[in-house]
A and B are shown apart, each in its own frame.
Chain A
Amino acid sequence: MEETLYLKGEQIKDVNQYDFPGLKKALNIGQENIIAEIKKSGLKGRGGAGFPTGLKWDLARQQDSDQKYMICNGDEGEPGTFKDRYLMEERPLKVLEGIIIGAYASGASEGYVYIRGEYTDAIKIFNKVIEEAEEAGVLGENILDSSFSFNLKLIKGAGAYVCGDETSLINSIEGKRGSSRIKPPYPVAKGLYDKPTVVNNVETLTAAAEIINQGADSYTALGTENSRGTKLICLSGDVNEPGLYEVAFGQTTLKKIIDELGQGVKDNREMKFVIPGGISTALLEKENLDISYTYEDIEEAGSSLGSGAIIVVADGHNLVDLMLNVSRFFMDETCGTCFPCREGNRQVYHMLKETADNGGFSSEQLEIIEDIGDTIHLAARCGLGQTSLNFIKSVFANYKDELMEKGVNRC
């Protein structure tokens, strides 16, 4: 099986060597045509939520405001995800191009690229890119001799997972506590400093740059009706060849991705299950992996494509340890604002820990975890909370027998 190189294609890193073909074309065709092209391409947000990008830009463009902002979300924090890091380190000019096109289309004159603090290389590279782009006239006043002016600043994240949520990220840029805002109003209407703001994921913007460059048809030629184009996949866990791959939607299955791109399960072990979209998604059992890699097929199977992090888990891991690891992450990373997420994740962690020490869950504990899971899902304030127990709930749903009292099996 071959990768489909749409975003990963050859890329120049020197600003002076790169021609910014997408940006030039964008400045030429104007805001409305850019948005029409992106809408036509069917591009959806690649941060995990999958909101149509063209629509987002259009909503921001239609806002009547003296100031609008464009934010590139590079606060990649979902465990197992490293696609945005790759793009920012290896394809920074394409990312930059996407940011400027998005800004132009939605009418933003100021922008931020918010990069996860731990991504020191990406930060170094992007700092340099911004500086060189300013010198080359790709950023700043009258970009590429057009009438469009746009300034870009880099913000380093300070280590909070929740700041990957767009409203938390906006609070963070404003110097406030990183916690989600109540929506509506959505950022496109009232975002950074209460001005219309577009927040796009790194991969989304990179794809947008390529779509404008190659035309929407090049993108719609790939994928399915509901899942257009390609997706960067972060393959990790118990596979022989973990790494970053690009696949066209609908042209391969989860199983093939693991067996062919990943060269199968490590050390010839038996596979147990796969987490198809990062640790805030439900697991899929090994029997259910022969499904097409699209948003819709994975959803149909009861999980989500999420951010594109595929984590392969072989037999032999302690299920409670795995759950504890995930639970600890969410417990520590809840912003602390909404009660179900803060208290629910704390309680679930304590219950898992207790069981890890004592062996086996009681049916009452199981019921409580299920209740907490439903409550968080239905009532939490943001996506972090709503999805925080997806994985743990799915472990209980699939391996209940193994987990009941006196049954903490080595599986």
Chain B
Amino acid sequence: MLNVKIDGQKLEVEEGTTILEAAKKAHIKIPTLCYEEGLSIYGGCRLCVVEVEGQRLLQPACATEVEDGMAVETHSPKVREVRKNLFELIIASHDISCELNCLTCSRSDSCELREIAEDIGVNEIRLDPLNKGYKEDMSSYSIVREPNKCITCGRCIRKCEEVQGIGIFTMANRGPSTIVTTFEDKGMGNVECTNCGQCITACPTGALHEVYHDEGVWNALHDDSKHVVVQTAPAVRVAISEPFGDKPGTIATGQMVAALKRLGFDKVFDTNFTADLTIMEEGTELIERINEGGTLPLFTSCSPGWIKFIEHFYPEYLEHVSSCKSPQQMFGAIAKTYYAERNNIPREDMVVVSVMPCTAKKFEAKRAEMNGDVDYVLTTRELARMIKAAGIDLLNLEEEDYDDLLGVSSGAANIFGATGGVMEAALRTAYELITGKELENIDITAVRGVTGIKEAEVDINGLTVRVAVAHGLGNARKLMERIKEGREYHFVEFMACPGGCIGGGGQPISASLSSAEIIDKRIKSIYEIDSSKKMRKSHENPYIQKLYEEYLEKPGSHKAHELLHTHYLARGV
């Protein structure tokens, strides 16, 4: 153990502890900007510089390890002065202006710069904003880059490279011309971007945000000739109240449904319904592949970030991917056929909106194979903005229920929102469909939790089913390499985002809490919703049974294939 004195407080820390970590232990907050927990140390912003006794120059707390006997001043007059000057320099390069100011910024409610300004007590800005004159990158269906707001802290670069294992971003040029850009400045829509949106959650400013769909949704809602239905993904309900000041992980399903009704949606449905449907189709596909000697392992197909990842990086494995559309797209297909037909609504009058924790879903909805079944995809953040714009006091609304037919779902559907959830839901159903017996212990905890790659074996009628789960594309790549080396599984769940959908690129962003803390809380709530439900297996959903009876015949039928299954594209790199 090492002895260190921070702002006069003595403490003991382990070898290898940075000054930043030690200060946190002493309940001292040192402002940081280019630092993000879980990413490599960059040491670029210098906001965390501190005075170390005996050193002439200030030292970055994030990159300096504690030495025995060290004495550190984290908020001395010299340090505070330097931080204020630094902040002025940063703000000038952030291009705040009347046309591009805080009011219209995607991060107006979660701006890290604003938080830092408060932390260091900025009281004057003497430098004029620089006009950098870069063009916005609008090449992607999912994500917009506004390089003028970028302060080149490199967090998006490191997130994409280190956590997601892709690396579409790079620093280009030098000196003040240094910019974050894509390979040959091609734009995010023209490189191997999976649209996962983790870069957005890493960005401390509003330089990265989703392609907004809210305007289109407002227009549809105000158009009386349209029948507008909405579906909400499982992960949205445990995060939607965060932008309204609630704690992460607060379950706000009923309030969210009520708000959606007030916004004027004709029907408020649940993506969970088609999550149950996915289990029926994908479970059947798995059983068929096992029984008939089909291509194994079977890979899940719900996460559009993962789909684009495998299309780029492992196209030779596309045969392994389930042909099932994602729950979002299954919903679109069912809404515009089964639901529309039953209610005599012409397809062209139907508008299907989805609320997703995800930015890749925007891209998915635009895929040609999806026939425009989903018209607009809102992120959780965009929905929050719409609710605010309508003056709805979300937190104090009376809870309301989803509409029937496409609004009823099992607990199994809800856990789709957390890593391992699709696997658990599928196993619950597969077990009972194969054995005809009731599953004794419904909680399959071996596939739960935030370990990067999870493996489990489940005995079903004497067959040992080997499964694996990976979340975050960096882990997905590791698991794919394992499979390439010959590791055998029957079924593998892949989710593009750390923690699964609850950690998606479309979820609310906190300027102060770490993503690991938030992910933990949201996951807890996801399982809480599941365990509080009576109906916890997809095949028990009566509306799913009804859908098959009335329309689809049986899982894997010709009709089901027509509407609920798709194919993929070998994109390569």
Q: Do A and B bind each other?
A: yes
B163-176: CB near A (< 8 Å → 1, else 0) gives 00000000101111
Q: Is B107 an interface residue (CB 8 A)?
A: no
Binding-face segment, A14-22, A227-235, A335-343: A335-343
Q: With a CB–CB cut-off of 8 A, which chain B residues contact A339?
A: 44-47, 86, 89-90, 93, 151
Instruction: Mark out the residues of chain B between 75 and 105 whose CB falls within 8 Å of any chain A CB in the assembled complex.
Output: 78, 81-82, 85-86, 89-90, 92-93
Binding-face segment, A111-119, A304-312, A375-383: A375-383
C-alpha spacing A377/B89, complex, angstroms: 14
Q: Is A331 an interface residue (CB 8 A)?
A: yes
Q: Is A206 an interface residue (CB 8 A)?
A: no
C-alpha spacing A380/B57, complex, angstroms: 9
Q: Is A355 an interface residue (CB 8 A)?
A: no
Instruction: Mark out the residues of chain B between 528 and 556 whose CB falls within 8 Å of any chain A CB in the assembled complex.
Output: none
B57-70: CB near A (< 8 Å → 1, else 0) gives 11010010100000
Instruction: Mark out the residues of chain A between 368 and 391 whose CB falls within 8 Å of any chain B CB in the assembled complex.
Output: 368, 371-372, 374-375, 377-381, 386
On whether A334 and B127 interact (CB within 8 A), knowing A339-B44, A378-B57, the answer reads no
Residue with the greatest number of chain B CB neighbours at <10 A, chosen from A331, A332, A346, A379: A379
Tell me the minimal C-beta distance from B184 to chain A in angstroms. 16
A149-190: CB near B (< 8 Å → 1, else 0) gives 000000000001010000000000000011000101000000
Residue with the greatest number of chain A CB neighbours at <10 A, chosen from B47, B92, B175: B175
Residue with the greatest number of chain B CB neighbours at <10 A, chosen from A160, A378, A380: A378
Q: Is A281 an interface residue (CB 8 A)?
A: no
Q: Which of B46, B85, B126, B173 contacts A380 (CB 8 A)?
A: B46
Q: With a CB–CB cut-off of 8 A, which chain A residues contact B151?
A: 339
Q: Which of B65, B130, B171 contacts A336 (CB 8 A)?
A: B171
Asked whether, in the complex, the Cβ of B44 is within 8 Å of the Cβ of A375, the reply is no
Asked whether, in the complex, the Cβ of A347 is within 8 Å of the Cβ of B46, the reply is no
Asked whether, in the complex, the Cβ of A336 is within 8 Å of the Cβ of B90, the reply is no
Asked whether, in the complex, the Cβ of B44 is within 8 Å of the Cβ of A381, the reply is yes
Asked whether, in the complex, the Cβ of A342 is within 8 Å of the Cβ of B86, the reply is no
Question: What residue in chain B is nearest A377 (Cβ atoms)?
Answer: B57
Asked whether, in the complex, the Cβ of B82 is within 8 Å of the Cβ of A379, the reply is yes
C-alpha spacing A386/B82, complex, angstroms: 13
Q: Which of A177, A334, A347, A364 contacts B175 (CB 8 A)?
A: A334
C-alpha spacing A161/B60, complex, angstroms: 24
C-alpha spacing A339/B78, complex, angstroms: 18
Q: Is B445 an interface residue (CB 8 A)?
A: no
Asked whether, in the complex, the Cβ of A338 is within 8 Å of the Cβ of B46, the reply is yes
Asked whether, in the complex, the Cβ of B57 is within 8 Å of the Cβ of A344, the reply is no
Asked whether, in the complex, the Cβ of B127 is within 8 Å of the Cβ of A332, the reply is no
Asked whether, in the complex, the Cβ of B175 is within 8 Å of the Cβ of A333, the reply is yes
Interface size class of B (residues with CB under 8 A): 20 to 34
Asked whether, in the complex, the Cβ of B178 is within 8 Å of the Cβ of A342, the reply is yes
Q: Is A280 an interface residue (CB 8 A)?
A: no
Q: With a CB–CB cut-off of 8 A, which chain A residues contact B86?
A: 339-340, 375, 379
Tell me the minimal C-beta distance from A77 to chain B in angstroms. 13
Tell me the minimal C-beta distance from A201 to chain B in angstroms. 22
Q: Which of B43, B63, B85, B174 contacts A335 (CB 8 A)?
A: B174
Question: What residue in chain A is nearest B57 (Cβ atoms)?
Answer: A378
Q: Which of B43, B92, B175 contacts A331 (CB 8 A)?
A: B175
Q: Is B152 an interface residue (CB 8 A)?
A: yes
Q: Is B211 an interface residue (CB 8 A)?
A: no
Asked whether, in the complex, the Cβ of B171 is within 8 Å of the Cβ of A182, the reply is no
Q: Is A303 an interface residue (CB 8 A)?
A: no
C-alpha spacing A331/B93, complex, angstroms: 14
Q: With a CB–CB cut-off of 8 A, which chain A residues contact B130?
A: 346, 350
C-alpha spacing A335/B82, complex, angstroms: 21
Asked whether, in the complex, the Cβ of B176 is within 8 Å of the Cβ of A345, the reply is yes
On whether A336 and B46 interact (CB within 8 A), knowing A343-B90, A344-B89, the answer reads no
Q: With a CB–CB cut-off of 8 A, which chain B residues contact A371?
A: 81, 85
Question: What residue in chain A is nearest B45 (Cβ atoms)?
Answer: A339
Question: What residue in chain A is nearest B42 (Cβ atoms)?
Answer: A337
Asked whether, in the complex, the Cβ of A342 is within 8 Å of the Cβ of B176, the reply is yes
Question: What residue in chain B is nearest A365 (Cβ atoms)?
Answer: B126
Asked whether, in the complex, the Cβ of A378 is within 8 Å of the Cβ of B49, the reply is yes
Asked whether, in the complex, the Cβ of A177 is within 8 Å of the Cβ of B82, the reply is no
C-alpha spacing A42/B41, complex, angstroms: 36
Q: With a CB–CB cut-off of 8 A, which chain B residues contact A340?
A: 46, 85-86, 89
Tell me the minimal C-beta distance from A188 to chain B in angstroms. 17
Tell me the minimal C-beta distance from A314 to chain B in angstroms. 30
Asked whether, in the complex, the Cβ of B175 is within 8 Å of the Cβ of A338, the reply is no
Asked whether, in the complex, the Cβ of A342 is within 8 Å of the Cβ of B46, the reply is no
Asked whether, in the complex, the Cβ of B58 is within 8 Å of the Cβ of A334, the reply is no
Q: With a CB–CB cut-off of 8 A, which chain B residues contact A386?
A: 57
Question: What residue in chain A is nearest B56 (Cβ atoms)?
Answer: A378
Q: Which of A182, A333, A350, A374 contacts B82 (CB 8 A)?
A: A374
Q: With a CB–CB cut-off of 8 A, which chain A residues contact B85?
A: 340, 371-372, 374-375
Asked whether, in the complex, the Cβ of B174 is within 8 Å of the Cβ of A336, the reply is yes
Asked whether, in the complex, the Cβ of B89 is within 8 Å of the Cβ of A333, the reply is no
Tell me the minimal C-beta distance from A342 to chain B in angstroms. 6
Tell me the minimal C-beta distance from B301 to chain A in angstroms. 37
C-alpha spacing A201/B315, complex, angstroms: 49
C-alpha spacing A260/B171, complex, angstroms: 49
Q: With a CB–CB cut-off of 8 A, which chain A residues contact B65?
A: 184
Asked whether, in the complex, the Cβ of B58 is within 8 Å of the Cβ of A378, the reply is yes
Tell me the minimal C-beta distance from A177 to chain B in angstroms. 6
Q: With a CB–CB cut-off of 8 A, which chain A residues contact B46?
A: 338-340, 379-381
Tell me the minimal C-beta distance from A198 to chain B in angstroms. 23
C-alpha spacing A202/B423, complex, angstroms: 62
C-alpha spacing A347/B176, complex, angstroms: 10
Residue with the greatest number of chain B CB neighbours at <10 A, chosen from A162, A336, A339, A340: A339
Instruction: Mark out the residues of chain B between 1 and 53 whose CB falls within 8 Å of any chain A CB in the assembled complex.
Output: 41-47, 49
C-alpha spacing A333/B175, complex, angstroms: 6
Q: Which of A160, A184, A338, A368 contacts B174 (CB 8 A)?
A: A160
Asked whether, in the complex, the Cβ of A177 is within 8 Å of the Cβ of B41, the reply is no
Instruction: Mark out the residues of chain A between 309 and 363 whose CB falls within 8 Å of any chain B CB in the assembled complex.
Output: 331-340, 342-347, 350
C-alpha spacing A149/B530, complex, angstroms: 68
Q: With a CB–CB cut-off of 8 A, which chain B residues contact A377?
A: 57
Asked whether, in the complex, the Cβ of B58 is within 8 Å of the Cβ of A379, the reply is yes
C-alpha spacing A160/B175, complex, angstroms: 10
Q: With a CB–CB cut-off of 8 A, which chain A residues contact B175?
A: 331-336, 342, 345-346
C-alpha spacing A187/B268, complex, angstroms: 61
C-alpha spacing A92/B47, complex, angstroms: 45
C-alpha spacing A368/B92, complex, angstroms: 13
Asked whether, in the complex, the Cβ of A347 is within 8 Å of the Cβ of B92, the reply is yes
Tell me the minimal C-beta distance from B399 to chain A in angstroms. 47
Q: With a CB–CB cut-off of 8 A, which chain A residues contact B171?
A: 177, 336
Sample (20) of A-B pairs whose CB atoms are under 8 Å apart: A160-B174, A334-B175, A338-B44, A339-B44, A339-B93, A340-B86, A342-B178, A343-B92, A343-B93, A345-B176, A346-B175, A368-B126, A371-B85, A374-B85, A375-B85, A375-B86, A378-B58, A378-B78, A379-B82, A381-B46
Q: A334-B175, A371-B81 are in contact. List 14 more A-B contacts (CB 8 A).
A: A177-B171, A178-B174, A182-B63, A331-B176, A333-B175, A336-B178, A338-B45, A338-B46, A374-B85, A375-B81, A378-B57, A378-B58, A379-B86, A386-B57
Enumerate the 10 nearest inter-chain pairs by beta-carbon distance, A residue then B residue, closest first: A336-B178, A343-B89, A346-B176, A375-B85, A379-B46, A182-B63, A182-B43, A378-B58, A379-B49, A371-B85
